[in-house]
Structure 1
Amino acid sequence: MSSRAPSRRDVLTATLGGLLLPGVAASQPAKKAAPGPSAVKPPEKTAAPSRGRGDAMLTRPIPSTGEALPIIGLGTWQTFDAAPGERAPLAEVLRTFLDSGARLIDSSPMYGRAESVVGELLRKLDATKTPFLATKVWTTGKNEGIAQMRESIRRMGQGRMDLMQIHNLVDWRTHLPVLRDWKARGAIRYLGITHYARSAFDDLERIIREEKPDFVQLPYSVLERDAEKRLLPAAAAHGVAVLVMQPFSSGTLFERVRGRPLPGWAADIDCTSWAQVFLKFILGHPAVHCPLPATRKPSHAADNVRAGFGRMPDEKLRARIVKELEG
């Protein structure tokens, strides 16, 4: 993913100081609202999964509020930048994803038409579950950032946005105060930061420690574990929820296991595919809240969401997974 900065329910009775587009409502919580600050327990240093009820997808609490977040998300980079004639499979991807109990859908204005495609398809779906919508600001300048975020909310959320992130830390010192103000006014529910490059990990760690955003999004997988050294511990210590991009190392993990049968120990963590093993490896780290696998294939979406159910690997099994993949 490129890190270059680009060259380019009820309507609120008040306009939030001009924050939102005319006629656009503030973000609304999911059907079960998160508790207010006075009711929220102190953030946990790790995010132990909830077993849920019956066959419900596991959840982990967002540290800043305690709101339960299903542990499998959906990325849209490359996959949802689709022409009108290519969108039928994506509608089924979204349906499969939401029907499983998953909620978090992540996008960005960097991803071409992805925000618009997500918004269009969600409008057409007869979904009974409220998605947790996340996107990003990816430009320089305060006014430019405000305009871009308003447009993203219009395209993707039709007036609501749960999480707004600063994409690859582009002009983050300018955008962060705006996001804090938007969150205070109710235009967004959470704010976060992202970066895809290991060279930016020092900056991410410093911002986590000093600014304590609600979320951080970073790369992490069986083969790319740099985040384990300092970033994941910092996020856990400061109550920052962790989203994981590139959980399959851009497909490299599947190349490593091509032709290999699934090991017998996969059944010990209720896995029926390598994709589920890779996602559960990530979720086996207690600081991680939600990986974001991206796909345009409904069968892959159905496979991915199954990683949100059943047993997770302990440290011994996680080490074994690393050894097998590195070998």
Structure 2
Amino acid sequence: MTALPMNRRDALRLMTAAAISGIGVLPDGAGAANGADQPGMLARRIPSNGESLPMIGLGTWQTFDVGTAPAERAPLEAVLKEFVALGGRLIDSSPMYGNSEIVAGDLTAALGLRQKLFIATKVWTSGKRAGIEQMEDSMGKLRADPIDLMQVHNLVDVSTHLATLREWKQIGRVRHIGVTHYAASAHDAVARVISGEPVDFIQINYSVGEREAERRLLPLARDRGVAVIINRPFAGGDMFRRLRSKPLPGWAAEIDCDSWAQLLLKFVVSHPAVTCAIPATARVEHLRDNMKAGMGRMPDEKMRARIAAEAA
């Protein structure tokens, strides 16, 4: 699908609305210096350093867990190439995602994209030495040393790994540090971490179908100056199953959406605390659809409520 460009009047209107609401959206390639060079791709600032990230990133869970055969990797190479061409920057992985790290690293190297990407992965083990070994292994697979973001996956041995990561950040081995979880039942635990530990990012679940983060965690992250990456922006596919037979409402065009994926993603990334959402896909046509959610007009609070009601 072709991205809808913003004209100058639309861009100015969006900047004004963002200034009033505190959303902090950067329109029309404002993140170009950091890799978001596609006109119309919107970006958000990382609170800890002011660096900008495009609002739509790329997850790798399941989709990048393939073998070495060219037929398996070719679709992912096309996805990664198109992702960058459309202004994408953040790609997220984990050692628990099978071959995803090494596949992402191999393709990034083959395409010469390292400098255009913000590469994030996680540590998912217990113990200081095991954590160090796993993080070094991940950085080798991703060919990213230093790495842009290392996160403690699902809060596993979180205090131990954050202590290591604070040391690594001081010496330049990691640029940003964070913690993650995929379940709303862990939001209180995530909140305790960011209330007591200096982190740059959290990664949590949030969607029209999973709105628990709105109660406490998203406001807390905003107050604490912590960037937020959203996993499960489609509630693990539940939203598509729920909306399969429901036509897209005509008013979706008011915020430049022509698919449910775009409408659901715009609901997520328009929350003022959210920095970036990371839908995963192995298909270029789905990637293009997702990326369009980071372009054009964004919903205000009234429109967000309308989206939520329509998708309920």
- Give the residue type in structure 2 aligned to 1:301: L
Q: How does 1:126-205 map onto structure 2 within 5 Å?
A: 126-127=112-113, 130-205=116-191
Supply the distance in 1 between the matched residues of 2:204 and 2:174 (Cα, whole angstroms).
21
Q: Percent identity?
A: 55
Please point out which of 242, 247, 265 is paired with 2:228. Answer: 242
Task: Compute the displacement of 1:128 (Å).
Answer: 8.6
Q: Kindly indicate whether the alpha-carbon contact (under 8 Å) linking 1:49 and 1:58 is maintained by their aligned counterparts in 2.
A: yes
**In 2: Cα distance, 1:158 partner to 1:137 partner:** 14
CA deviation string 1:175-203 (max 9, x = no partner) = 11100000010001000000112221111
Q: Which amino acid aligns with 2:52?
A: A
Task: Please tell me the residue identity of whatever aligns with 1:82.
Answer: V
Which amino acid is 1:52 matched to? Answer: D
Q: Would you say the 8 A contact 1:82–1:114 is kept in 2?
A: yes
Q: Distance in 2 between matches of 1:307 and 1:202?
A: 29
Question: Does structure 1 residue 51 correspond to structure 2 residue 35?
Answer: no
2:119, 2:144 within 8 Å by CA — same for their partners in 1?
no
Q: Rate the CA distance shift 1:190–1:299 in 2: closer, same or farther, 3 A.
A: same
Matched, 1:72 2:25: no
From 74, 95, 105, give the equivalent of 1:88: 74
TM-score by length of 1: 0.84
2:47 is aligned, of 63, 67, 70, to 63
**2:228, 2:273 within 8 Å by CA — same for their partners in 1?**
yes
Give the letter aligned to residue 115 of structure 1: E
* Matched residue SS, 1:84: coil
2:94 maps to 108
Provide Cα deviations, 1:263-302, integer angstroms capped at 9, x if missing partner: 1111111111110101000012100010010011111111
The AA in structure 1 aligned to 2:85 is D
Identify which of 296, 299, 303 aligns with 1:310.
Answer: 296
What is residue 311 of structure 2 aligned with on the other side?
Answer: 325
Structure 1: 4+ residue segments shifted above 3 A? 126-129
Tell me the CA shift for residue 220 of structure 1.
Answer: 0.2
1:155/1:164 Cα in 2 relative to 1: closer, same or farther (>3 Å)? Answer: same
Letter in 2 for 1:73: G
More divergent stretch after superposition (251-260 vs 145-154): 251-260
Q: How does 1:6-45 map onto structure 2 within 5 Å?
A: none
Q: Which has a greater percent of helix?
A: 2
Q: Number of aligned pairs?
A: 282
Deviates more, 1:150-159 or 1:290-299: 150-159
| Counterparts of 1:271 and 1:323, CA distance in 2 | 17
SS in structure 2 at match of 1:279: helix
Partner residue of 1:17? none
- 257-266 or 134-143: bigger deviation: 257-266
CA RMSD in angstroms comes to 1.5
State how far apart, in whole Å, the 2-side matches of 1:79 and 1:245 are. Answer: 14
**Aligned mates of 1:324, 1:184 — CA distance in 2:** 47
Q: Which moved more, 1:216-225 or 1:156-165?
A: 156-165
CA distance, structure 2, for counterparts of residue 111 and residue 266 of structure 1 = 34
Question: Whole-Å Cα distance in 1 between the matches of residues 22 and 97 of structure 2?
Answer: 31
> Are 2:111 and 1:125 equivalent residues in the alignment?
yes
Q: State the 1:261 CA deviation.
A: 2.2
SS state at 1:81 partner: coil
What 5-or-longer segments of structure 1 have no aligned partner? 1-44
Q: Is the 8 A contact 1:47 1:289 kept in 2?
A: no
Number of the residue aligned with 1:40: none
